[in-house]
Amino acid sequence: MVRARAILPVLLLACLALLAGCSGAGARAESTGDGGAGLTVHRGPFRQRLILSGELTAERGETLNVPRTNAFQLTIRWLAEDGTPVKAGDPVVAFDNSQFSSDLEEKRLTASQAGSDLATAEAGRKTSQAEHRFNVEKARSELEKAKIAAAVPPDLLARRDYQERQLALQRAETELAKAEEVLATESKVSATGVAIQKITLDKSRREIHNAEEAIDALNLRAPRDGMVLVGTHPFEE
């Protein structure tokens, strides 16, 4: 009697557990509306599932910033998707370079014009120097003739002829000095003009080089292997 009384509560609890299980399965079957026909019970290992939410933050990474340019604002033409794996040197961001490309073409035209002006200045310098050197040689030749004529003793010439030859010698010396002065002045002026044109051309070439570097800087590439993580702007999201 004692053992029967002890077993009775255990049986009652087992029956209640079975009823609870049946009622739960029935509730689930009613909620699905298919009478539990699609439910399958099988034995297997217990797997614990966790739902994680949030965002990934790189523990170690390289920050890619917008390059410094004269433009107030740059437009993104292409951007790698968030989470894309990349290798070192792969493109990550490409900014619009249409404005810089048009400026580059203008700078190339300016440099071409500067090169043409430099060639014209150098050709003009050579022509001018050749002309003035010819005038110097001509004046020097006239001076030599005047020296020979003036070297005749006055006893062999009329006084008037002797005086005219001396005046001719002085004029020849003056003309030679003037021609040499003109040659020296023209050489300095032409050299200065050529130097200015060279400076202009060098400046245009530097501007082209800087523009090309600026265009290349608009294409950001991965500095090393990794994954692209697109940051969120705190004000514009």
DSSP 150-205: HTS-GGGS-HHHHHHHHHHHHHHHHHHHHHHHHHHHHHHHHHHHHHHHHHHHHHHH
> Three-class SS of residue 133?
helix
Burial class (CB in 10 A: 0-12, 13-18, 19+), 58: exposed
- Model-level pTM? 0.57
% of the chain exceeding 90 in pLDDT: 38
DSSP string, 11-52: HHHHHHHHHHHHHHHHHHHHHHTSTTTT--------------
What does the pLDDT average to over 206-231?
Answer: 88
% of the chain exceeding 70 in pLDDT: 82
Q: Are 113 and 210 in contact (CB under 8 A)?
A: no
Mean pLDDT over each residue of the chain, to the nearest integer: 81
pLDDT score of 184: 92
User: Residue 176 pLDDT more than 70?
Assistant: yes
Q: Which tens digit of pLDDT belongs to each residue from 99-136?
A: 888 888 899 999 999 999 999 999 999 999 999 999 99
Note the Cα 69 to chain centre separation in Å: 9
Residue 199 CB: number of other CB atoms within 10 A? 12
How would residue 20 be classed by pLDDT, with cut points 50, 70 and 90? very low
Q: Are 95 and 71 in contact (CB under 8 A)?
A: no
> Three-class SS of residue 225?
coil
Q: What's the length of the chain? A: 237
Q: Are 135 and 179 in contact (CB under 8 A)?
A: yes
pLDDT score of 114: 92
Q: Which tens digit of pLDDT belongs to each residue from 139-151?
A: 999 999 999 998 9
What does the pLDDT average to over 26-41?
Answer: 54
Sign for the pseudo-dihedral over CA of 92, 95, 100, 104: positive
Q: Which amino acid is present at 27? A: A
Burial class (CB in 10 A: 0-12, 13-18, 19+), 132: buried
User: Residue 30 pLDDT more than 60?
Assistant: no
pLDDT score of 211: 86
Q: Are 145 and 119 in contact (CB under 8 A)?
A: no
Q: Which tens digit of pLDDT belongs to each residue from 38-65?
A: 678 778 888 888 887 876 666 778 888 8
User: Residue 200 pLDDT more than 90?
Assistant: yes
Name beta bridge partners: 91. Answer: 221
User: Residue 2 pLDDT more than 50?
Assistant: no
